[in-house]
Structures are given as structure tokens and as C-alpha cells.
């Protein structure tokens, strides 16, 4: 049985949470792999896959060390909140490496970073499309001096699309993955699932990915599966609306689109279209907001560059 442990995180504002996690110390030498899930507390497929990964683990098959934190953002999980930590409304995956004496999300990021990311040889952070978000499975890694090993991790996870984020066009700053890469730890974010649905197929995709990753890194016994075809994308565009309105998406998630292709429209509450959202260049639509209600500066589409 993996050892059950608890990390307590308390901020100076008086908020305190207990975060359950699992640890397996292998009887043979090997690297340390840390697996995070639930950084966004309503991305249930990633949480379910982390839980199932632990439940089916045989510690005698582990070399090195395996740490699994199924729900990092406990407050977001209980509140069913999309993207943010309800204590202060901040997005945990934009807050790393955190602050020892900040608001609750910054303090949480600091403790997760110091206790789980620092000291790891490899970091996997599992996500999904959040409650208002449709998503095609993909992995992300950051430009860094360890990016070759991050790409090995992404390939081992086995999803069809891999995005390399250069530091120059880092659309997501303060992520787990970026903070790890910045201190020389190979890391990926893996995404499967969408819309707050506990979808069996999306969980299985994550579960197969984490098992194959652990085998590829030598943390878990067993032969990795044969390499799968993947498309590597050099960065992406995150398309937003500057004005709040009704979002009407016109292209299916996962579709390849041409430069200039119409992806959807924004209209006001009278029904008058005020913006046509088009592809700035050719690419693959990996996620999009599925809820029509989008606020000013709201995110609409994640378009991976071809
Ligand atoms: Zn997420």
C-alpha cells in the first residue's frame, strides 16, 4: 500500500487546508516522479485518474520514489469552482512558484512548489478542460535546458498533440510546468477530459498516460507501449474577446483550421454580432470555451500552431 500522508497549508489570513497525498519509496534506486492533479479542482478526469493510478499501484514494482497528490486545490474541489481557488479568486496554475506570505493561493503554490516540485526528478501535472471548457487531449512542455527530457515525457504520455511553449510566447506564466522547468526539472502538463464530466474514456487516456510515463522513466516496472504518432506544435494562440457577450463557437474541438477561418462569433444580448473570431494562422483547435457566457477579456479558443 502507498503511504498516506497529509500536507497542511495555512495562510496568515487564517485559512488552512489539509491535502492528502500518497508516497511510495521503492526498494530499488530510481528517480523521483511527482504526480499532481486537481490543481484546478473541477477537472475531475485528472483527479480520478490519479486516484485510480494509486489504487492499482503495487509498491514492489516501484523504483525510486513516487509521490501522487490527487487534489491539490481542495477548496476549489469542494466549491466546484472552475479555474480558481475560491479563497481569493486566483488561478493556482498562474501562481507558481508562489509566495510564503501572500494570499491563500500564493501560499498554497509556495508550499506545493517547495514540498512537491523542488526535489523531484520529473513532474507530471494532470488537467482537463474545466467546467465551461471543451478540450481535445494534449500535453504541454516548456522551453528550457531540460526540454529534451520533457519531450520524452510528453511522448511517453501518448497523446496526439504536444505543445512546446517558448519562454518568449509563454501564454501561461506561473504554471507548475513552467516553475519546474525554470529550476531544471523536466515537466509536462497533460490534459484529457472536459466540461466537468467524469468521462470514462478521458480517465482511461490519463491512466494509460501516467502508467506509461512511470514505466518509461524507470519508476514503475513493465514495458512501455510502442511510441505513438504525435504532432508537435510550436506554441499557440489564446484568442480572447475584449468585450463581454454571447460566444457562439462554429468549429469542433480538435479540428484543423486554415488561416482566416471563422471560429465563432460574439454577440450582445440583443443578438447583434459585434465580433467575428478568426484563426490568426493555420492550426489545431485544442480547447475552446463551451459556455456561451463570456466576460470581458474572457478566453474563447486555444489554437495550437501547425
Ligand atoms: Zn486545468
Of 172, 174, 189, the C-alpha closest to 236 is 172
Ligand 1 centroid from CA 282, angstroms: 25
Query: Is pLDDT above 90 for 169?
Result: no
Q: What is the pLDDT of residue 171?
A: 72
Over residues 37-57, the mean pLDDT reads 98
Q: Which residues surround ligand 1, an ion (CB under 5 A)?
A: 40, 43, 127
Over residues 126-151, the mean pLDDT reads 97
pTM recorded for the entire structure: 0.97
Ligand 1 centroid from CA 43, angstroms: 6
Q: What is the pLDDT of residue 179?
A: 96
pLDDT tens for each residue of 172-228 = 789 999 999 999 999 999 999 999 999 999 999 999 999 999 999 999 999 999 999
Ligand 1 centroid from CA 91, angstroms: 9
Which residue segments constitute the domains of the chain, with CATH numbers given?
Answer: 3-232 (3.40.630.10), 236-305 (2.40.50.100)
Q: Give the integer Cα–Cα distance in Å for 90 and 190.
A: 21
Q: What is the pLDDT of residue 172?
A: 75
Q: Do residues 273 and 305 make contact, with C-beta atoms less than 8 angstroms apart?
A: no
The single residue listed with the C-alpha cell 474541438 is 253
Q: What is the pLDDT of residue 24?
A: 98
Ligand 1 centroid from CA 270, angstroms: 33
The confidence band for 81, taking pLDDT boundaries of 50, 70 and 90, is: very high
According to DSSP, the residues that pair with 68 across neighbouring strands are 22, 35
The confidence band for 1, taking pLDDT boundaries of 50, 70 and 90, is: confident
Over residues 234-240, the mean pLDDT reads 95
According to DSSP, the residues that pair with 239 across neighbouring strands are 301
Q: How many CB atoms lie within 10 A of CB 49?
A: 28
Over residues 222-239, the mean pLDDT reads 94
Ligand 1 centroid from CA 141, angstroms: 14
| More confident position, 167 or 216 | 216
Report percent pLDDT > 90 for the chain.
96
Mean model confidence pLDDT for the chain:
96
Over residues 148-166, the mean pLDDT reads 97
- Side-chain-side CA neighbours of 198 within 13 Å: the count stands at 7
- Side-chain-side CA neighbours of 64 within 13 Å: the count stands at 18
The single residue listed with the C-alpha cell 484563426 is 279
DSSP structure class, residue 295: -
Q: What is the pLDDT of residue 201?
A: 98
Query: Is pLDDT above 90 for 36?
Result: yes
Q: What is the pLDDT of residue 206?
A: 98
Q: What is the pLDDT of residue 221?
A: 98
Ligand 1 centroid from CA 83, angstroms: 7
pLDDT tens for each residue of 245-282 = 999 999 999 999 999 999 999 999 999 999 999 999 99
Over residues 98-113, the mean pLDDT reads 97
Q: Do residues 96 and 111 make contact, with C-beta atoms less than 8 angstroms apart?
A: no
Ligand 1 centroid from CA 272, angstroms: 32
Query: Is pLDDT above 90 for 67?
Result: yes
Amino acid at each position: 500500500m502507498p503511504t498516506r500522508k497529509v500536507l497542511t497549508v495555512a495562510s496568515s489570513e487564517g485559512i488552512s487546508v489539509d491535502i492528502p497525498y500518497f508516497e511510495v519509496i521503492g526498494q530499488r534506486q530510481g528517480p523521483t516522479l511527482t504526480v499532481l492533479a486537481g490543481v484546478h479542482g473541477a477537472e475531475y478526469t485528472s483527479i480520478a485518474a490519479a486516484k485510480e493510478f494509486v489504487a492499482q499501484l503495487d509498491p514492489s514494482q516501484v523504483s525510486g520514489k513516487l509521490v501522487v497528490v490527487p487534489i491539490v486545490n481542495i477548496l476549489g474541489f469542494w466549491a466546484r469552482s472552475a479555474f480558481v481557488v475560491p479563497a481569493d479568486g486566483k488561478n493556482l496554475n498562474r501562481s507558481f512558484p508562489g509566495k510564503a506570505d501572500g494570499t491563500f493561493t500564493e501560499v498554497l503554490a509556495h508550499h506545493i512548489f517547495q514540498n512537491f516540485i523542488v526535489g523531484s526528478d520529473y513532474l507530471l501535472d494532470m488537467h482537463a478542460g474545466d467546467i465551461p471548457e471543451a478540450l481535445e487531449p494534449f500535453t504541454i512542455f516548456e522551453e528550457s535546458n531540460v526540454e529534451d527530457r520533457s519531450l520524452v515525457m510528453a511522448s511517453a504520455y501518448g497523446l496526439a498533440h504536444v505543445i512546446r511553449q517558448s519562454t518568449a510566447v509563454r501564454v501561461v506564466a506561473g504554471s507548475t510546468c513552467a516553475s519546474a522547468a525554470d529550476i531544471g526539472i523536466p515537466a509536462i502538463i497533460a490534459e484529457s477530459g472536459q466540461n466537468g464530466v467524469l468521462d470514462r474514456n478521458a480517465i482511461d487516456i490519463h491512466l494509460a498516460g501516467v502508467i506509461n510515463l512511470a514505466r518509461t522513466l524507470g519508476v514503475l516496472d513493465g514495458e512501455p507501449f510502442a511510441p505513438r504518432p504525435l504532432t508537435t506544435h510550436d506554441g499557440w494562440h489564446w484568442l480572447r474577446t475584449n468585450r463581454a457577450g454571447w460566444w457562439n463557437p462554429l468549429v469542433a474541438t480538435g479540428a484543423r483550421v486554415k488561416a482566416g477561418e471563422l471560429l465563432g462569433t460574439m454577440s450582445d444580448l440583443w443578438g447583434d454580432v459585434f465580433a467575428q473570431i478568426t484563426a490568426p494562422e493555420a492550426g489545431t483547435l485544442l480547447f475552446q470555451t463551451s459556455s456561451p457566457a463570456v466576460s470581458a477579456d474572457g478566453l474563447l479558443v486555444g489554437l495550437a500552431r501547425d
